[in-house]
Amino acid sequence: MGNINKILEAKINEEIILDHNYLEKVKFEYMPNSSDEYVREHPYSWVAYTISSYSHRTIFPMRNSTYVTFFKTLIGAKRNFIRNYLKEEK
Tens-digit pLDDT profile for residues 66-84: 889 999 999 999 999 999 9
Cα 32 → chain centroid = 16
- Predicted confidence at residue 1, as pLDDT, reads 64
Residue 17, SS3 per DSSP: strand
Question: Is pLDDT at 63 greater than 90 in this prediction?
Answer: no
**pTM exceeds cut of 0.75:** yes
Q: Is 26 left (phi over 0), alpha (psi -120 to 50) or beta?
A: beta
Whole-angstrom distance, CA of residue 83 vs CA of residue 60: 14
- Predicted confidence at residue 88, as pLDDT, reads 59
Q: Find the angle CA(33)-CA(66)-CA(56) to the nearest 5 degrees.
A: 90
